[in-house]
Every structure is written in structure tokens, then in C-alpha cells.
Structure 1
Amino acid sequence: MAEFKPVKLSSPGHSDDGIAVEVLPYGLTIHKLLVQTDGRIHDIVIGPENPTDHVAQKYTNSIVGRYVNRVPVGTHSFERNGVRGDITALPNESPLVSLHGGPKGFDAVPWTLLTEKDALQLFSKAEAARIRAQPESSFAVFRLESPSGDQGYPGSLIVEVLVALISPDHQQKISENTPQNEVDNRVGSLALVYRAKLREANAVTPVNLTQHWGFNLEASLNKGPETLSVKHHTLTIQADKIAELDSDSLFTGRHVPLTPAHTHQAKPIGKDFPEKGYDDYYLFKDDLQSAVPTRIPLSSFNDDSDFVQDLLRSSDNPERGLRGPPAIELASERSGLKLLFDTNQRGTMFYSNALAKSSAGARKKIHGGSGVSGSGDAYDPHTAVFLELHHPLAAFLHTNEKAGEDTLLTSEELYHNYVRVDITSKQSPA
């Protein structure tokens, strides 16, 4: 089936280094994210070996939408810029909870891969020209049409997503006295740009998209349980609050100060590890909020508008994103790999794969699994760092979010969400 045929993109770095990605049109799923460095190939996302197994192994590196995370089941009314609407959230996680957009969200449908002949509808002429000036093998654009009433959400929504790989320009200049294993070499970058627009006039709908991807920077070392666990990874999240959740994991409308267990500043994930692991939304610090808009007025969006220029540039200094220090840094001393995340979203979920079961699903062969679903050697709990960068949870339901971000989109606006991951490596001590 075409939706399970991987779209393969690659971007060479320096010497033999580089990155590649395989994207499935089904659920816009990142099936593989390959990093070649230090004479080794790492696949840094978990998941099944067989693309079709993503149907059962849900939310493993797929997009989720129209609305990420949990919304209370039922009909909810909202208003933005004088336009009113309502949704009827459908149950799927439980009778009380609608998860990740509903029973058949964006993760469970085929997306259309656009060809060179297809006009990009949600990118300006300047942006389209810039995108298509990139090496042909380094990018792809996918489209989805979500009809009005889809999973109870109002308005006909068109979505286009750019997936692009960016090569570093040149090797980092280092001192002759610097040990090689202390050098962060730029391997490459991955940028995701999510665009959405309502077809109808005078309409409004909630939109909050993200990639539900799970990282493990050590699993490809294939050295047993120690390298399958992510507890030795170090994580930095530039946040000072987390979302308060009720007994159904629904957002109460309050963000509360971090506890020691939820303070991640280059701390090993296993330190102060909660009994049930991590499944929390972190609100980034106020001084980290991006100046890049998440909704662009259509009245000011024209042929010359260009919001992708910086995203597609090479990074001479991966320690700084488009707006300063990265929002998130994930690193492994064992593999020498480091990921630095930049985004215009206000926070991130961090989920440690706590509900995983080795008896269910499949584990990739490169991670030491058989690749066969149901064989009993899938991923155990806490074998991935899911970093889902998006706006606050169910913000359209909570009045205290109105001053900041209500996650609503009107017919007069263009949704613009970006995530960029810069990948660096050191000589592996493993």
C-alpha cells in the first residue's frame, strides 16, 4: 500500500557523517531517523521494523491532531476574535477522555505526498521557491484535507507539513589542544513546519499539532537492557512550570511550579525518577517564548512572505537556535549524540514510554529486537524520550490561557508551527 511505502530523505554532512529520514504517508510517521557518525549508524527513534505495524503501534513517531493530548469528552463552545464555534469531542482513551484528536485522528489516515507539479497552497511563492531550491532528496511536503465535522471538529481544514533535512556548512573550528571526544561535530538538522488553514469564511476551530516521536540515543549500540533504558540520557528542558492534571490526566487549567523530579537541567533522566515515570507537559520559561508567530494574519501574508528562511539555513552554532539557547537538549554520553530543539511552541510533553510492554508490538532489529510484532521482545517501559512540542493542553477550554494562547484558528489566520532539531556528535566512548 502506498501509504506504507517510506519516503526517503537524506542530507550528507562532512566526510561520512550525515542524517536520513524515512517518512510514511500513513499518519505522517517518521519511521526511521538515521544518524551516521563516528563510523556507526544510529536509528534514534523507537518503533516497529515493519511500516504496517504502525497501525497497531499507535502514536509512535506519527503526527497527532487536530488536537494533541487530552480533551474532555462532550460538546464545548469557544470564541476567538468575535467568531464562535463548538466541538463535540469523541471518546477513545476512555469514556471521559478524547485523546490526540479522537478515534481516527491525523495519525491514522494517509497523507498525500506532493510532487514538484503540485502547487503549495499554504506556503507563499517566496517560501515555495526557497523550499524547492533545496536538494531534491532533502525535503518533502505532505497534505491532508480534514472535512468539517471530522472527529467532531468544526470547519474544513487543509494542512500542509514540510519535512526538511539541512546539512551543516562547514566543520567547527577547534583548538589543536582540544581532545577529539570533547568536540561536538554538527551532523545535520531536521525541520518540521506545520501549516493549516480553514476553507470556510467566518469559522473557528481548535488546532494544536505535534510530532509524537520517541527518541533513544543509545538503543542502536545494541548492548542490552542498559542501552535500551533512557535513564542514563541527560535532559534539559527550559521550563519553570508543569501542567496540573486530574485523575483522568486532563488539564485542570493551572500550571504549577516544578518539583525536583521535574527540574531537568542536564540531569540524568533516572535521577529523582518518579515511580510511574514521566508523562507531563512543561511550560517554557517566559523569556524563552519565540517571537515567531504561531498564527499569521492572512491579510499580511503575501507572495513575498518568508517564515522558512531561517529554518532552512545551516547552523554554524547549534548551541543557539533561531531565538537563543535551545528549548530542549537531549544527550547521551554513551553514544556521543546530542539533540537540540528549537520551536515557536510554548512547551513540550515529556513521556518516558511508561506504558510500553515488551509483549506488545515490535522492536527494530537495529535496536536488538526481532522486528516481529507480538514476539515478546518489544520495548519495555522507559525506553524512549517522547518530546512532543506544542501549545498548552486544552487551552481553548481555560479562560486563564486566553491572554497567552487559546489554540484556536479562525478563517482569517494561517497556522504556523515549527520544530527544528540540530544533531551533533562526539567520538563515542562506548
Structure 2
Amino acid sequence: MSEFKPVLLALPSLTPSLAIEILPYGLIINKIIVQPDGRTHDLLIGPELPQHHLQRKYVNTIIGRYANRIPVGKHAIERNGIQAEVTAIANEGDKVSLHGGPTGFDALPWEQVDKPTLFTATELSHLPGAEESTAAVFRLVSPDGDQGFPGKLIVEALVALIGPGTQERKFIRPGDHIDQLEFDLGSVVLVYRAKLDSAQPAVTPVNLTQHWGFNLTASLKDGPESLSIKDHLLTIKADNIVDRDEVHLSKYSYLPVANTPHAHVAKPIGQDFPGVGYDDYYLLSKAPTEVPKRFPVSSLKPDFDLLKDVLRPTHEDTPAPRGQRGEPVVELSSPKSGLKIIFDTNQSGLMFYSNIFSDASEGYRKRIHGGSGEKGDGYGPQTAAFLEFHDPLAAFLDPSTKNGDDTLLTSDEIYNNYVRMDVKFKQQAP
């Protein structure tokens, strides 16, 4: 099927290299490949064959229309005087609608497009030429009533690789400190945009994310230890997590992370490990960013530009002014492999999920991670750090967010969500 034919993006003429593989089915980021040290690493868990994603939901897919959990039932919504109704359909027990309903954006084929309508010519001019194959835009049209959500929604997703720019290669010299040996491999940028296609005033909830799972040591294939993420170092710049009920629905209140296992400040994930693991929403501390989550449809003119600094190389003669991109909010690294990924975003928070519900006997594992590629040889719990950036759970049902950060989109607005991941490598001292 064409939706499982990979779309390959790669940074040209760079050693070490950075490349990704995208499947139009579910807009799956199937592989993130780096070769910093003569070895090939795939930073994402997942099945060997693209078609096996049909048996494993939510592995590296986009999530939509609405990430995470919504109470089942009918919900009246209103933003700026525009009203509609959402009918959340159960697909996790009888009380929870999970990740957009029974057939969410993760289970649909996306179309790669050459002429996007939700990105301007100026924004796309920051990308290399088409011959470089470093970026692609995909589109999905969700009809009115899809999975109980009102309004016809047009969604476009930009996936781009950004080179690190000019950087001085560092060599080990007597007396060099190990920190001097870290260098950049490039960046992966995801930008989601969405617009209601309606001649009349309309409103709908939108809260998208990428449900991707990272393991920075699995490609070392050093036995079971290399599959565990417990020795990965994690920093999340968050002061609170969402308080949830027995079926993981939001109580629309927050719990402090200080002096709890949820205080992640460059510590091993396995330190102070809670119960079965992590599956929690972290509300990020406020990061200075001027990249809005939505903007007026009337602004979308040829010279409109929100992406200049989001798509800027890490090393450039004129770095982005402070505030035009978010400060780094999450960092995941492995002293064992030397790999590090750093995230910034304009979203309010993220889910950190340590793959606690994964069953190796029901899954598939990539050969590059020591797997056979066959069912029954999958990934077990604590084998991936899923870092899913999106706005708070069911925020449109929280009275405190009304007409504010409520995850509702009206027909005179365009939804704008970006996540940028910078990939780094620290060369080991001899």
C-alpha cells in the first residue's frame, strides 16, 4: 500500500549524518537515523516492517484530533460566542475517549503535497531546495462529525530536517574537558497547522502531538540493558503534573513535582522510579516564546512568517533573538551512547510515558535494536521515553481556560503547533 511507502529525508553532504523515514499512514516518524561515531543508531523504537504498525497503535504516529483522554459523552463547547457540541466516543473502557477516538489521525493515510495552503511562501523559503529532500508537507482532511468532532478540519504537517550550520569540529587534545567534545548533528522540526473549512462561524477542539518513543542505547545491542531507558538522563522543566482520576481523566488541577519522582533534573529515569513507571502530563514552566498556538486566518499572506527562527540552524552567524523560539524545555541523553536530544516547543506541556503498557510478546522489535522483526520479540515496559508535546488534557472542558488556552479553534483562526528536536553527540574520551 502506498501509505506504507517510506518518505526519506536526509541532510546532504554531512558526516555525521541525520536522516528520518516517514510513513504517510498515521504520519508515522518510523526512523530517526544518526551516524555520529561510525555506527548507525535509530533513535526510535518500533516494528521492523512498516505494515506491522497496523498491529501496534500509537507507536511514533501523529495523534488527533485530540491528544490524550476525554470523558465519553456529549460536551457543549463555546469560544468567543461560537457554539458547537462534541460527542466523545469510547475506545478505552466505557468512560474514556483516547487519542481522538476509535479511528484517529494515527490510523489514516496522509497525502504528501507540493503546494501547502497553511504555510506561506516566505516560511517555506527557509527550507532548502526541493532537490535536497530535507522537508515534506503532508495533508489530511477530517470531515465534519469525524469521531464525534464538529467541523470539517484541514490539517497540514511540515516535517523538516535542519542542518547544524557552521560549527568548529573539535579534536581531543591533552587537557581537553569532555564537554568540549559535544557537537550538533542537526534538528528535526515538526509544525502542525489546522483550519476549519466553513463558510459559517464554527468551533472545534484541536490538540495534536507526535506519539514518538525514544531509546538512545537500543542500537548498541548490548543485551537487555541497552533496551532499558532507566539509565537515560532526563530533564523536564516543569513544576507540576496533572492530577487525574482512576481512569486517568484530568481533574483540572495540578500537583507539584518538587520532592517527588516527577522532579526530573538531569537524573537517571530509574532513580526514584515510581511503581510501574511513568505515564503523566507535565505542565511546563513558562518558556519565553513569541510563537503563537493560533493566529488569525487573515494573517496568512505571502510575507507572513512564524518559522524563520524555528527553522534556523543551531550554529548560524546571526542566532535567533531570545524569545523568538522557546527555550529548551526537555533534554534526554545517554552517557552510554553519547547521544542527546533537546526539545523546544510552543505547547504548554507534555506526556512522559515510559512504555509501561508494552507487552514484548505481542509486539515487534527492529533488527537494529537486536530484534528479529517477528511478532513476539517486541519491546517491554521501560524501553522507550515517549515525549508527547501538547496542551493540557481536555482543556476545553476546564472552566478556568474559557476563551483562553482552551484548545478550541474557531473558523477565523489557524492552529499552529511546533516542536523542534536538536540532536547532539558527545564523543567519548579515549
Q: TM-score, normalised by structure 2?
A: 0.94
Deviation sequence 1:378-425 (CA, Å, 0-9, x none): 101000000000111100001123375100000000000000000000
Mark the CA change 1:132 to 1:334 in structure 2 (over 3 Å): closer, same or farther: closer
Shift of 1:45: 0.3
Equivalent residue runs for 1:112-123 within 5 Å: 112-115=111-114, 119-123=115-119
Shift of 1:309: 1.3
Mark the CA change 1:111 to 1:152 in structure 2 (over 3 Å): closer, same or farther: same
In structure 2, the partner of 1:18 is: 17
In structure 1, the partner of 2:339 is: 337
1:212 aligns with 2:211: yes
Q: Which SS does the other structure have where 2:58 is aligned?
A: coil
Q: Which SS does the other structure have where 1:418 is aligned?
A: strand
Query: Does the 8 Å contact 2:79/2:402 carry over to 1?
Result: no
Aligned equivalents of 2:326 and 2:97: distance in 1? 36
In structure 2, the partner of 1:236 is: 235
Q: Which SS does the other structure have where 2:158 is aligned?
A: strand
Equivalent residue runs for 1:78-117 within 5 Å: 78-115=77-114
Query: Does the 8 Å contact 1:91/1:98 carry over to 2?
Result: yes
Query: Does the 8 Å contact 2:288/2:326 carry over to 1?
Result: no
Mark the CA change 1:40 to 1:123 in structure 2 (over 3 Å): closer, same or farther: same
Aligned equivalents of 1:55 and 1:87: distance in 2? 27
Aligned equivalents of 1:322 and 1:78: distance in 2? 32
Aligned equivalents of 2:261 and 2:413: distance in 1? 39
Shift of 1:260: 1.9
In structure 2, the partner of 1:413 is: 413
1:385 aligns with 2:381: no
In structure 2, the partner of 1:184 is: 182
Query: Does the 8 Å contact 1:321/1:342 carry over to 2?
Result: no
Deviation sequence 1:189-210 (CA, Å, 0-9, x none): 0000000000013000000000
Query: Does the 8 Å contact 1:65/1:101 carry over to 2?
Result: yes
Aligned equivalents of 2:71 and 2:6: distance in 1? 35
Shift of 1:323: 3.5
Mark the CA change 1:228 to 1:329 in structure 2 (over 3 Å): closer, same or farther: same
In structure 2, the partner of 1:280 is: 280
Deviation sequence 1:49-98 (CA, Å, 0-9, x none): 01001011110000000000000010001111111111100011111100
In structure 2, the partner of 1:142 is: 138
Q: Which SS does the other structure have where 2:136 is aligned?
A: strand
Aligned equivalents of 1:410 and 1:151: distance in 2? 18
Shift of 1:324: 5.5
Shift of 1:289: 5.0
Which residue among 128, 147, 152 is the counterpart of 2:148?
A: 152
Query: Does the 8 Å contact 2:188/2:420 carry over to 1?
Result: yes
Which residue among 159, 170, 173 is the counterpart of 1:163?
A: 159
Aligned equivalents of 2:202 and 2:326: distance in 1? 36
Q: Which SS does the other structure have where 2:360 is aligned?
A: coil
Shift of 1:299: 2.5
Query: Does the 8 Å contact 2:326/2:346 carry over to 1?
Result: no
Query: Does the 8 Å contact 2:21/2:29 carry over to 1?
Result: yes
Query: Does the 8 Å contact 1:362/1:378 carry over to 2?
Result: yes
**Which amino acid in 1 is paired with 2:28?**
T
Aligned equivalents of 1:310 and 1:36: distance in 2? 26
**Which amino acid in 1 is paired with 2:395?**
A
In structure 2, the partner of 1:369 is: 371
Count of aligned pairs: 423
Query: Does the 8 Å contact 1:334/1:429 carry over to 2?
Result: no
Which residue among 116, 121, 128 is the counterpart of 1:125?
A: 121
Shift of 1:360: 0.7
Deviation sequence 1:125-146 (CA, Å, 0-9, x none): 3223434646531111100000
Aligned equivalents of 2:421 and 2:131: distance in 1? 19
Q: Which SS does the other structure have where 1:155 is aligned?
A: coil
Structure 2, unpaired ranges of 5+: none
Q: Which SS does the other structure have where 1:348 is aligned?
A: strand
Aligned equivalents of 1:153 and 1:289: distance in 2? 32
In structure 1, the partner of 2:362 is: 360
In structure 1, the partner of 2:65 is: 66
Equivalent residue runs for 1:34-53 within 5 Å: 34-53=33-52
Q: Which SS does the other structure have where 1:261 is aligned?
A: coil
Deviation sequence 1:335-356 (CA, Å, 0-9, x none): 0000000100000100000011
Which stretch has the larger CA shift, 167-176 or 140-149? 167-176
Equivalent residue runs for 1:288-307 within 5 Å: 288=287, 290-307=289-306
Mark the CA change 1:10 to 1:174 in structure 2 (over 3 Å): closer, same or farther: closer
Q: TM-score, normalised by structure 1?
A: 0.94
Which residue among 161, 180, 194 is the counterpart of 1:196?
A: 194
Shift of 1:12: 4.1
Query: Does the 8 Å contact 1:13/1:167 carry over to 2?
Result: no
Mark the CA change 1:63 to 1:159 in structure 2 (over 3 Å): closer, same or farther: same
Query: Does the 8 Å contact 2:118/2:300 carry over to 1?
Result: no
Q: Which SS does the other structure have where 1:130 is aligned?
A: coil
Which stretch has the larger CA shift, 396-405 or 76-85? 396-405
Aligned equivalents of 1:65 and 1:96: distance in 2? 19
Shift of 1:328: 0.3
Shift of 1:291: 2.2
Query: Does the 8 Å contact 1:322/1:342 carry over to 2?
Result: no
Mark the CA change 1:382 to 1:239 in structure 2 (over 3 Å): closer, same or farther: same
